[in-house]
Structure 1
Amino acid sequence: MAKYEQQVHEILEAIGGEENVDKATHCVTRLRFALKDEDLVDTDKLEAIDIVKGSFSTNGQFQVIIGQGTVDQVYRDMVELTSIGESSKSDVKDASAQKMNPLQKGVKTLADIFIPILPAIVTAGLLLGLNNILTGEGIFIADTSIVEAYPQWAGLAEMINIIASAAFAFLPALIGWSAVKRFGGSDLLGIVLGLIMVHPDLLSAYAYPDAQEAGEVPTWNLFGLQVEAIGYQGQVLPVLFASYLLAKTELWLRPRIPDAIQMLVIAPVALLVSGLLTFIIIGPITFALGNGITGVFTWMFDVMPAVGGFLYGLLYAPMVITGMHHAFLAVDFQLIGTGDGTFLWPILALSNIAQGSAALAMLFISRNENVKGIAGTSSVSAYLGVTEPAMFGVNIRFKFPFVCAIIGSSIAATFISLYSVRAFSIGIGGLPGFLSIMDGYRLIFLIGMVIAFVLPFILTFLYGKFVAKNQFN
């Protein structure tokens, strides 16, 4: 007999029956379903099942939170007991994508491109934080840094800086790898394309403004057409569009070139076509577009920092529900590429902390042991940057903790935005987030962390104790 036979049947009954399931798979903590009709789901009935810790729908998928370890066995039992069969994550994604509108598909594409490279970026951010601790003045020693006080540490700091900054120096190569793979092309060619765009013989994008002002931008003469010979360090949009062109060119060539000479023709032609068009058309247009987008955000946070911070702090968690938050990864990367850091990512970190504190408050006010268990574990997860268990398992489920969390997040975000707090990198979006904050802003950010930690907890606790009372137990 399957260990979770009863629970499997109860879950399937609550989501509209086995016949309502198109595809099913699982991740570390959740069952992921592509359902034929999500209107048939009985959420109350589903979340009353003892092993279910919450549920939500996003990007065309209906996800049931089970928990690490248990979800593996539940999925195996479901496959064994039903005719649903095993599916991969890509199978479920493909089935879910058919139900998405164009905006959702666009956001999903960005998520599919950026999420695979996040481990490299987060690691780089943490190592840069370690380097800043070693080289920052006044952190541990008044008016000086560790490497200045102890020169024997200088070599280590330089090595850490090189290791950490590599991911940002060659960011177009990382994006090119992931983007070309996502668009169906050869990921190796995507790496080469990204490296072409940061070739050392090109004028660095960081030096471009000064060179342009001085009238010293190098150019190529292509049959009378003057093309600027500039690189795209720290840029996102140029490599995204160039990767799309490269992948589609490769896919177009494959069935038209004999197998015997594909290796000699496809890669050179695809790279040459996409490379030329990138330098001539795609690069200049998207370079200006990317700078325009970052300029809009920079203007808002410069001219109306309180408004910008409040709105982003208020809306970030709701955007997580829809998956829209992935679109802002591109903006973060673009802002980081300017060298001035990103003012959006620190708000993300505070939002995650706020969601964790709201969930933690439920641990103290709920008398339901299942709710207390989910609240305790999910709050720790949120404090370490993974908010889905806290949001979908606790806060959204009871509504008022989610509202209290975004109130606390928006106030904390307004505070740090008034002081233009910036991060030099994307890091772990929770309590360890202070490691990614630029020198000079850490104290303000720590105060923002205290606001995001304390205020949602107090608001949730008081509302739950004196207003909601037994409505959520």
Structure 2
Amino acid sequence: MADSNIKSKYLPTVKEMITLIGGKENIQGAAHCATRLRLVLKDNSLADTKAIGELDHVKGSFVAGDQLQIIIGAGTVNDVYAVFTEEAGISGMSLGDVKEQSAQKQNAFQRGIKALSDVFVEIIPGLLAAALLMGVTGLLSQKGIFGPKSVVEMYPAIEGFNRFISIMSTGIFTILPLLVVYSATKRFGGNPVLGLVLGAIMLHPELANAYAVGNGTVKPEIISLFGLKVSLVAFQGGIIIALMMGFVIAKLDKFFSRKVPDMIKLFLAPFLTIVVSGFLLFSAVGPLGRLLSDGITNGLMWSVDNLGIVGFMLFAGVQQIIVITGLHHVIGAVEAQLIADTGSNFIMPLMSVALMGQGGAVLGYTLAMWKSEKARQIGVSAFGSTLFGISEPALFGVNVKYKFPLIMGSIGGAIGGAYVYLSGINALGFGATAIPGFAIIAAKDSGHLHYVAANLLALAVGAILTIIYLKVRKPNMD
């Protein structure tokens, strides 16, 4: 139960909020994160997001992931949530419960996109750690960053430390398919240990190394499986294949667990799952996945070679618009495959400048509307989030709401994308942008300096264009 002082402070806002979301009977569940109330409603169309955003203590509201998300602010959200659940007569739910509840209302395509996102969410911390280690060893080894000599050359005593860091930085990438198939199997409802077993098979040392086969230095062994010719090639870098196999293993595991009698299920069900999934790996899923992953990588590289600066500007200009639809989650799988195939990721800096363009737009809006306390509250919080790679408060709290900041932010992102192309910025990992993204930028050719410049450029363009628009056009901001 909420404290009496807290209740008296927030109850008027909460009562209005419940009315504006369609009443208590429209609420399916409620939870909160660090800054926002997250509500699952029976009918989102009954919620007046604009009116909710005008309430006291509220900094904006939007619907994303089939949840109504109401921006309150760090600390305050806990108190508002306590009053809200008491007034609405509902028991609190965990954030995971709310996500699961909202997922049930999504169509098959939306659920598929969310599933891809969930697979990579679990392994991104490891990838970020590895990319940060790569950044450290890059800074220590690269000449021209701190002078004509590298740090290791200037201080030979740290050569052993640098070598140690270098080994640690590449460890996760040698088993990345294994981690992906484990996470995917778990996400799709199968036994994740079976995913690990299949992942180990994908990287088995008796199989020909995929990279060696690709460059022609090794000729793979070919065997006959029931008359089908199968090349015994491992799946290093097979991220798309690992995703597909995680789904296959989960479905087979659930199927055999249902069909095999209980008396022999313990050993026969996993045996059949591994045998069948292993056969499908080498006979169907593997070849199909290789074609798909090659198509993705070749398509991206084709766009770089043929579209050049235009392609970079187009992607950086529209990427945050894709975020609005929720389809951006699939980009993580593409980035992982790109790193596996080429060793670097040019998409991440483009995503960062796209985000900073929108951050610049909300900054411009905030500065131009500084006399409005409501605009300051929303704008400062939303801009602060973009600095740490979170754009939704800026997008849904300001830019989408008023439309013109979204356009100005997209222009800022496009200009930043042009700088990324001209300077050749690359990342060593994915999953972080803006300030956190600095840690995973490749040090080669002053990559860190160019990364900062590209993001500041996108930020400045978005902010300046938004301020100019507000001063010249004087649009109605109600």
Question: Structure 1 length as normaliser, TM-score?
Answer: 0.92
Q: Which residue in the other structure is 2:326 paired with?
A: 323
Rounded to whole Å, the distance in 1 between the matches of 2:145 and 2:162 is 15
1:239 equivalent among 238, 242, 255: 242
Q: Do the aligned partners of 2:36 and 2:73 also contact (CA within 8 Å) in 1?
A: yes
2:314 equivalent to 1:311? yes
2:57 equivalent to 1:57? no
Amino acid corresponding to residue 177 of structure 1 in structure 2: Y
1:407 equivalent among 383, 394, 411: 411
Q: Deviations over 1:23-42 (max 9, x none)?
A: 32222222222222222111
Q: Do the aligned partners of 2:213 and 2:219 also contact (CA within 8 Å) in 1?
A: no
Q: Which moved more, 1:427-436 or 1:46-55?
A: 427-436
Q: Deviations over 1:380-439 (max 9, x none)?
A: 321121222222223333332222111100111123224543222215300343443331
Q: Do the aligned partners of 2:356 and 2:387 also contact (CA within 8 Å) in 1?
A: yes
Residues 271 and 362 of structure 1: is their aligned pair in 2 closer, same or farther, counting only changes over 3 Å?
Answer: same
Rounded to whole Å, the distance in 2 between the matches of 1:391 and 1:42 is 17
Amino acid corresponding to residue 320 of structure 1 in structure 2: V
Rounded to whole Å, the distance in 1 between the matches of 2:410 and 2:13 is 34
Q: Secondary structure at the match of 1:309?
A: helix
RMSD: 2.2
2:221 equivalent to 1:218? yes
Q: 1:36-435 counterparts in 2 under 5 A?
A: 36-142=42-148, 144-211=149-216, 216-366=219-369, 367-426=371-430, 428-435=432-439
Q: Secondary structure at the match of 1:428?
A: coil
Report deviation, 1:65. 1.6
1:462 equivalent among 465, 468, 477: 468
Rounded to whole Å, the distance in 1 between the matches of 2:81 and 2:168 is 40
2:3 equivalent to 1:16? no
Residues 336 and 31 of structure 1: is their aligned pair in 2 closer, same or farther, counting only changes over 3 Å?
Answer: same
Q: Which residue in the other structure is 1:450 paired with?
A: 456
Report deviation, 1:93. 3.2
Q: Do the aligned partners of 1:194 and 1:239 also contact (CA within 8 Å) in 2?
A: yes
Aligned length: 469
Q: Do the aligned partners of 2:382 and 2:391 also contact (CA within 8 Å) in 1?
A: yes
Q: Deviations over 1:206-265 (max 9, x none)?
A: 223113xx6712333434433122222222211111111111111112233344543322
Amino acid corresponding to residue 19 of structure 1 in structure 2: E
Amino acid corresponding to residue 355 of structure 1 in structure 2: Q
Q: Secondary structure at the match of 2:344?
A: coil
Q: Do the aligned partners of 1:129 and 1:436 also contact (CA within 8 Å) in 2?
A: yes
Q: Secondary structure at the match of 1:140?
A: coil
2:440 equivalent to 1:436? yes
Amino acid corresponding to residue 279 of structure 2 in structure 1: L
Q: Do the aligned partners of 1:382 and 1:430 also contact (CA within 8 Å) in 2?
A: yes
Residues 419 and 304 of structure 1: is their aligned pair in 2 closer, same or farther, counting only changes over 3 Å?
Answer: farther
Q: Secondary structure at the match of 1:100?
A: coil
Rounded to whole Å, the distance in 2 between the matches of 1:50 and 1:431 is 31
Q: Do the aligned partners of 1:38 and 1:62 also contact (CA within 8 Å) in 2?
A: yes
Report deviation, 1:335. 0.5
Q: Do the aligned partners of 2:358 and 2:409 also contact (CA within 8 Å) in 1?
A: yes
Q: Do the aligned partners of 2:18 and 2:88 also contact (CA within 8 Å) in 1?
A: no
Amino acid corresponding to residue 134 of structure 1 in structure 2: L
Amino acid corresponding to residue 58 of structure 1 in structure 2: A
Residues 402 and 291 of structure 1: is their aligned pair in 2 closer, same or farther, counting only changes over 3 Å?
Answer: same
Q: Deviations over 1:51-105 (max 9, x none)?
A: 2221121232222122222222322322222233333444433443344333322
Q: Do the aligned partners of 1:359 and 1:378 also contact (CA within 8 Å) in 2?
A: yes
Report deviation, 1:441. 5.9
Q: Which moved more, 1:42-51 or 1:60-69?
A: 60-69
Amino acid corresponding to residue 43 of structure 1 in structure 2: T
Q: Which moved more, 1:257-266 or 1:244-253?
A: 257-266
Rounded to whole Å, the distance in 1 between the matches of 2:198 and 2:446 is 36
Residues 79 and 216 of structure 1: is their aligned pair in 2 closer, same or farther, counting only changes over 3 Å?
Answer: same
Amino acid corresponding to residue 174 of structure 1 in structure 2: L
Q: Do the aligned partners of 2:30 and 2:85 also contact (CA within 8 Å) in 1?
A: no
Amino acid corresponding to residue 347 of structure 2 in structure 1: L
Q: Secondary structure at the match of 1:356?
A: helix
Amino acid corresponding to residue 152 of structure 2 in structure 1: V
Report deviation, 1:5. 2.2
Amino acid corresponding to residue 395 of structure 1 in structure 2: N
Rounded to whole Å, the distance in 2 between the matches of 1:151 and 1:279 is 47
Q: Which moved more, 1:416-425 or 1:168-177?
A: 416-425
Amino acid corresponding to residue 426 of structure 2 in structure 1: R
Question: Structure 2 length as normaliser, TM-score?
Answer: 0.91
Q: Do the aligned partners of 2:181 and 2:246 also contact (CA within 8 Å) in 1?
A: yes
Q: Do the aligned partners of 1:125 and 1:427 also contact (CA within 8 Å) in 2?
A: no
Rounded to whole Å, the distance in 1 between the matches of 2:332 and 2:120 is 7
Report deviation, 1:290. 0.9
Rounded to whole Å, the distance in 1 between the matches of 2:96 and 2:441 is 35
Q: Do the aligned partners of 1:238 and 1:282 also contact (CA within 8 Å) in 2?
A: yes
Residues 285 and 37 of structure 1: is their aligned pair in 2 closer, same or farther, counting only changes over 3 Å?
Answer: same
Rounded to whole Å, the distance in 2 between the matches of 1:347 and 1:372 is 28
Report deviation, 1:325. 0.7
2:41 equivalent to 1:30? no
Amino acid corresponding to residue 200 of structure 1 in structure 2: P
Q: Secondary structure at the match of 2:342?
A: coil
